[in-house]
Amino acid sequence: MDTTAKMPKIAQWEWNLVMLETERQRKGQRETEGDNQIEKDTERKEKGRHEKKSSLIPSPMEWGVYKKPSILAQPGPLVQSGQYVTLQCCSEIAFDSFILHREGVMENPLHLIGQPHDGGFHANFPVGPMTTDHAGTYRCFGSINYSSHEWSTPSDPLHIMITGLYKKPSLLAELSPVVRLGENVTLFCSSESSFDVYHLCREGEA
């Protein structure tokens, strides 16, 4: 029996099977990679569509429609740590509600119903107990119910600062605290702490 003549045929047959199986594996791998790529492309498109949709959502309010209200702090903008402060928004316009917003904060602003007061309208926002998280710049807006998406021009900024977190500094007047009318006086603030900024205020002023 001539086995040498059969060897190439068997080898070729086996080689054909190997090549066929290899091609199937490659095809399956390409299909799997293609499916994965389709899924990635779909996810990327959906993500892009979602981000585009989010960026195109219009703001629910339009401000600057009415004259700006005023804002003040009671008893004052310097608040002892742990104490409360009332932020009062006032306007001569009969706003149905006032909106309090702190700059740099993404949370929804606070809303309160406007109340008649001294010929105008106001709303009192109690804030506290005060921590460093409450410090910052506040503004208020006014709104009328029939156009609640339209807000007034923002009030002037109100800067709230927290005191009592560090040991108190000392305050001295140059030469003497008694000063003649028309003369100048220099006030010195000093402390053992390495403060970056000193704030000078006068009692009775908001």
pTM: 0.60
Where does residue 135 fall: left (phi above 0), alpha (psi -120 to 50 degrees), or beta otherwise? beta
Domains contained in the chain, number: 2
For 109-117, which contacts have Cβ atoms below 8 Å and span 24 or more sequence positions?
Answer: 109/141, 111/143, 114/142, 117/90
Handedness of CA 145, 150, 154, 158 (dihedral sign): positive
The answer on pLDDT for 190 being more than 60 is yes
Burial class (CB in 10 A: 0-12, 13-18, 19+), 11: exposed
Q: Is residue 69 located within the same domain as residue 49?
A: no
Q: Is residue 130 located within the same domain as residue 85?
A: yes
Structural tokens at position 199: 């704030």
- Is 71 within the bounds of a domain? yes
The answer on pLDDT for 69 being more than 90 is yes
Query: Mean pLDDT throughout 98-102?
Result: 92
Query: Mean pLDDT throughout 167-181?
Result: 83
Q: Is residue 159 located within the same domain as residue 111?
A: yes
What local confidence, expressed as pLDDT, does residue 158 receive?
96
Q: Is residue 48 located within the same domain as residue 85?
A: no
The answer on pLDDT for 13 being more than 50 is no
Query: Mean pLDDT throughout 9-24?
Result: 48
What local confidence, expressed as pLDDT, does residue 105 receive?
83
- Is 24 within the bounds of a domain? yes
Comparing 53 with 61, the larger pLDDT belongs to 61
What local confidence, expressed as pLDDT, does residue 199 receive?
81
Q: Is residue 47 located within the same domain as residue 74?
A: no
Q: Is residue 68 located within the same domain as residue 24?
A: no
- Is 176 within the bounds of a domain? no
What local confidence, expressed as pLDDT, does residue 7 receive?
40
Comparing 37 with 79, the larger pLDDT belongs to 79
3 state SS of 2: coil
- Is 171 within the bounds of a domain? no
Q: pLDDT per residue over 125-147, tens digit each? A: 999 999 999 999 999 999 998 77
Cβ-based neighbour number of residue 70 at 10 Å: 15
Widest pairwise Cα distance in the chain: 135
Q: How confident is the model at residue 67 (pLDDT cuts 50, 70, 90)?
A: very high
Query: Mean pLDDT throughout 83-93?
Result: 95
d(CA 185, CA 182): 10
What local confidence, expressed as pLDDT, does residue 50 receive?
41
φ, ψ at 202 (rounded to 5°):
-115, 135
Q: Is residue 77 located within the same domain as residue 130?
A: yes
The answer on pLDDT for 101 being more than 60 is yes
CATH number for the domain harbouring residue 152: 2.60.40.10
Q: Is residue 52 located within the same domain as residue 134?
A: no
Q: Is residue 71 located within the same domain as residue 155?
A: yes
- Is 150 within the bounds of a domain? yes
- Is 10 within the bounds of a domain? yes
Q: Is residue 69 located within the same domain as residue 116?
A: yes
The answer on pLDDT for 185 being more than 90 is no
- Is 197 within the bounds of a domain? no
Q: Is residue 72 located within the same domain as residue 159?
A: yes
State the residue range of the domain holding 11: 1-57
Q: Is residue 75 located within the same domain as residue 40?
A: no
The answer on pLDDT for 5 being more than 80 is no
- Is 76 within the bounds of a domain? yes
Which of 41, 57, 73 finishes a domain? 57
Q: How confident is the model at residue 58 (pLDDT cuts 50, 70, 90)?
A: very low
Comparing 172 with 73, the larger pLDDT belongs to 73
